[in-house]
């Protein structure tokens, strides 16, 4: 289906260029254009304006992103109660904030790491936003282990301390890096490792992943602002959604 869409868009672009060429040379009946002439005109159009293909592929990308965003928004709207009642979430910001932002993130996600500082600045500048975090370890074993470590740190009252350093890290979150972070925040390392092997915490991580599947979130970071979704970090878009939520 994807390649059919590409073909249709490309053909539409080429036909548009062909029509332009035909118009430039005067009226021409479709019966006057042979298959060979048509092919020649298409070839000429591509040579004269090779950006036709670029524009066609760009249009396809925009169309697909809009379709994905629409499908994701529908799934979140239908299942938002699951997010509101999920037990594995952690909150920060203003606990009494008038707008809630949910973030699905992966500790190994480079986009999540780059978004962390401007996101925190936005929360602090606003002062009236509540944030709920969901670990969504979709990038492999180190992501999964880091999510377990965050939950284990929570048992020592150090979730946010671990979270902030893990997201700010430029290193892969191997067990060695996790140990360094745990030591820096003053966690009991032996207890942290023991808790990381606790089936209960593994179940909580799996519950987060099942929640992501239920609301069809499959990329990070994904933000849900007052029930409205934003894919990736886009500060202007998120500020706009915050303002919309307050108007409702």
Quote the tokens at residue 209: 């992943």
Q: Into which CATH architecture does domain 86-247 fall?
A: 3-Layer(aba) Sandwich (3.40)
Quote the pLDDT of residue 142. 94
Q: Where are the domains of the chain?
A: 2-68, 86-247
Quote the pLDDT of residue 26. 46
Q: Contacts by 25-30 with C-beta closer than 8 Å and gap 24+?
A: none
Quote the pLDDT of residue 7. 46
- What's the pTM? 0.71
Sequence-separated (6 or more) residues with CB below 8 Å from residue 212: 104, 134, 136, 138, 218
Quote the tokens at residue 242: 């915050």
- Residue 169 CA: distances (Å) to CA of 92, 116, 162, 165, 175: 20, 11, 11, 6, 13
CB 148 within 8 A of CB 201: yes
Quote the pLDDT of residue 50. 66
Sequence-separated (6 or more) residues with CB below 8 Å from residue 61: none
Quote the pLDDT of residue 77. 82
Per-residue pLDDT for the chain (248 aa), expressed as one digit of tens each? 444 444 444 445 445 544 554 444 444 455 555 666 666 766 776 677 666 666 666 565 556 666 676 777 887 888 788 887 776 568 889 999 999 999 999 999 999 999 999 999 999 999 999 999 999 999 999 999 999 999 999 999 999 999 999 999 999 999 999 999 999 999 999 999 999 999 999 999 999 999 888 888 888 999 999 889 898 999 999 999 999 999 98
DSSP 50: T
State pLDDT tens for residues 150-204: 999 999 999 999 999 999 999 999 999 999 999 999 999 999 999 999 999 999 9
Sequence-separated (6 or more) residues with CB below 8 Å from residue 138: 106, 209, 212, 218, 219, 220
Give the Cα separation of 162 and 178 in Å (integer): 9
Quote the pLDDT of residue 234. 93
Burial 143-174 (b: 16+ CB within 10 A, else e): bbbbbbbbbbbbbbebbbbbbebbbebeeebe
Give the Cα separation of 103 and 159 in Å (integer): 15
């Amino acid at each position: 289906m994807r390649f059919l869409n590409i073909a249709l868009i490309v053909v539409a672009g080429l036909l548009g260029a062909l029509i332009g060429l035909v118009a430039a040379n005067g009226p021409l009946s479709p019966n006057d254009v042979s298959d060979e002439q048509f092919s020649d005109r298409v070839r000429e159009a591509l040579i004269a304006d090779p950006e036709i293909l670029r524009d066609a592929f760009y249009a396809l990308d925009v169309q697909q992103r809009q379709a994905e965003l629409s499908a994701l928004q529908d799934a979140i709207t239908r299942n938002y109660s699951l997010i509101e009642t999920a037990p594995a979430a952690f909150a920060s910001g203003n606990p009494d904030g008038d707008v809630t932002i949910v973030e699905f993130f992966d500790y190994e996600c480079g986009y999540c790491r780059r978004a962390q500082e401007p996101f925190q600045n936005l929360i602090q500048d606003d002062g009236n936003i509540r944030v709920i975090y969901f670990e969504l370890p979709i990038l492999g074993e180190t992501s999964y282990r880091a999510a377990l470590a965050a939950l284990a740190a929570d048992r020592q009252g150090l979730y946010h301390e671990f979270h902030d350093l893990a997201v700010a890290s430029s290193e892969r979150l191997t067990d060695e890096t996790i140990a360094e972070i745990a030591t820096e925040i003053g966690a009991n390392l032996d207890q942290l490792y023991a808790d990381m092997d606790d089936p209960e915490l593994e179940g909580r991580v799996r519950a987060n992943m099942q929640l992501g599947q239920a609301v069809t979130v499959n990329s990070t970071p994904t933000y849900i602002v007052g029930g409205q979704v934003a894919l990736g970090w886009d500060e202007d878009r998120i500020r706009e959604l915050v303002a919309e939520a307050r108007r409702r």
